Amino acid sequence: MSATTQHTLAGSAKIEGTSLHTGQKVTLTLKPAPTGHGFKFRRIDLPDQPFIAADVDKVQTVERATTLAEGSVKVHTVEHLISALTGMGVDNALIEMDSNEPPIGDGSSWPFVEMIKKAGVVAQDAPRKVWEIREPIHQEMGDGTIISIFPSKTFRVSVTNVGPDGRFTQYFTTEVTPQTYETEISKARTFVFYEDVKPLLDKGLIKGGSLESAVVIRGSEVMSKEALRFENEFARHKALDLIGDLMLSGVRILGHVIAVKPGHGPNTRMAATLKAEYARMRAMVPTAVSIPDGESVLDINEVMKILPHRYPMLMVDRIIDCRGENTCIATKNVSINEPYFVGHFPGHPIMPGVFQLEAMAQVSSVLMLRKPENSGKIGYFMSADNVKWRRPVFPGDTLFIESEVLKQRGSIGQTRCRCLVNGQVVSEAELKFALMDR
């Protein structure tokens, strides 16, 4: 199976069973879906057969299971199915149900893996989007739960399960591939501690629960219809849930997820963080700039007619707007080919702050030199005040440089400047320079 393209189901597959919380009979059908579709649930038992996307923004509750909601329409306990689809390499699928919850089966995701294998998985004609984590992401809860994601060239999960009073502390780690997911993760069953589940039983909830659909722990005794399938089955099931919950972020990742005492609440909170961070990262891809048609737009050739600087010290690619006589906006495309990246943090390339300052000075010079009375002069940098560097600038960023004239007296000018990437200020300063004859 190619990891570079999206995949969907080759055909449909159906399963019937009992839902965990309501005890109702449910029929679930997996169907192929087009590229970019992701995972969507469809309640065919309701009027208009509404859809609910498997999206962390749709998460309503996370008590003992993950529930999605779209208005009054809900789908409970989605994590096992989403985990199976993700683990088996499926990117796009339509999930039709005639009830509000998938069948619980034996409490693992193995029945869904069997469905996926029966339907088959096929490649689609679109690239798979996989986010390689480059900086650690850390999340810590007050109850001792910790979830961190570290850079890795593979998707790996490492889980430590810790029960009440330290009971059944277990550890599990693996790289997640369709092969390891099927053999090492999918057969691990849901487990509950009797003291946690008894109040729910007393309230008439989890009507579909039984020793055939979960492992019950009472004290130090394991109550189950069969022996534990793995010595660390509980930690493996926590990994199963974690994979499903994190996929609610909407993006596959390359990273090492390390989780201590994970649960649906912390898992989905991390999924929300991943979604937000991915959106922020994608926003760094520059969009097309709407260039006005007026004479205030200057291309690189016109810029070089005004400024004496040349490669590698020319820090302005284009003037995109001059608003009146007092404001100028320019762009600089930061390329990995910039010579300063060779020796400035070569293992973690960032644009030196002094070059951002130089870019501000050059735009300020353009702004002042555009005035007819300054034609033919040259700007000499004199001083910088209130200089602040707020965010790093990376190769691939588009730097927007803004300069505003604060005052000019004779040949001395003062400007307020700032550099932005994706609308966020990365540096700012107040500059003073002198205009002199060439």
CATH code for the domain in which residue 338 is found: 3.10.129.10
Give domain status of residue 214, yes or no.
yes
Say if residue 255 is in the same domain as residue 345: no
Residue 382: domain span = 300-437
Residue showing tokens 């992401």: 137
- The answer to whether residues 204 and 353 belong to one domain is no
Same domain, 306 and 216: no
Q: Which of 283, 312, 338 is the last residue of a domain?
A: 283
Domain check: are 304 and 349 in the same one? yes
Does residue 294 lie in a domain region? no
pLDDT of 149 above 60: yes
Where does 162-232 have alpha helices with state H?
178-180, 194-202
Answer yes or no: is pLDDT of 414 > 80. yes
Tell whether 263 and 378 lie within a shared domain.
no
Q: Are residues 196 and 123 in the same domain?
A: yes
Mark which of 253, 283, 313 sits at the end of a domain. 283
> Does residue 291 sit within a domain?
no
CA 274 to centroid of chain Cα atoms: 3
Q: Report residue 73 CA to chain centroid gap.
A: 26
Tell me if 385 sits within 8 A of 429, measured CB to CB. yes
Which one is predicted more confidently, 202 or 14? 14
Instruction: Give per-residue pLDDT as tens, 221-262.
Output: 787 778 899 999 999 999 999 999 999 999 999 999 999 999
Q: Is 339 inside any structural domain?
A: yes
Residues 38 and 178 in one domain: yes
Let me know: does 381 contact 417? Beta carbons within 8 Å: no
The residues, any chain, with a CB within 8 Å of residue 409's CB and separated by 6 or more, are: none
DSSP 8-state secondary structure symbol assigned to residue 47? T
**Rounded distance, CA 99 to CA 303, Å?**
65
> Are 369 and 275 in the same domain?
no
Any domain includes 72: yes
Name the pTM for this structure. 0.67
What is the number of structural domains in the chain? Answer: 2
CA proximity to 77, closest of 99, 49, 47, 44: 99
Q: 421: exposed, middle or buried (C-beta count within 10 Å: 0-12, 13-18, 19+)?
A: buried
Q: Do 225 and 123 share a structural domain?
A: yes
- Is 117 inside a domain boundary? yes
pLDDT in tens, 300-342: 888 888 888 898 999 999 998 877 678 889 999 999 999 999 8
Confidence band (pLDDT; 50, 70, 90) for 287?
very low
SS (H, E, C) 252-305: EEEEEEEEECCCHHHHHHHHHHHHHHHHHHHHCCCCCCCCCCCCCCECHHHHHH
| Catalytic residue positions, numbered | 264, 344
Please indicate, yes or no, whether residues 395 and 322 belong to a single structural domain of this protein.
yes
Question: Could you give the C-alpha distances from 16 to 26, 115, 187, 207, 267, in angstroms and in order?
Answer: 6, 11, 18, 17, 28
Residues with Cβ within 8 Å of 278's Cβ and at least 6 positions away in sequence, in order, are 131, 249, 250, 251
Question: Average pLDDT for residues 134-157, to the nearest whole number?
Answer: 93
325, 274: one domain = no
Q: How far is residue 247's CA from residue 92's CA, in Å, rounded to a whole number? A: 12
Assess whether 252 and 329 both reside in one domain. no
b/e map 388-420, b = 16+ CB within 10 Å: ebeeebbeebbbbbbbbbeebeeeebbbbbbbb
The separation between CA 70 and the C-alpha centre of its own chain, rounded to angstroms, equals 22
Residue 293, in any domain of the structure: no
pLDDT for the residue 115 = 97
293 has pLDDT over 70? no
CATH number at residue 73: 3.30.230.20
Confirm if 427 and 419 have CB atoms less than 8 A apart: yes
pLDDT above 70 coverage of the chain, percent: 90
Residue at 231 is within a domain? yes
Final residue in a domain of this structure, among 258, 283, 308 = 283
The arrangement of strands across the sheet holding 215-218 comes to 191-193, 215-218, 221-223
* Confidence category of residue 288, pLDDT binned at 50, 70, 90: very low
Q: What is the pLDDT of residue 3?
A: 74
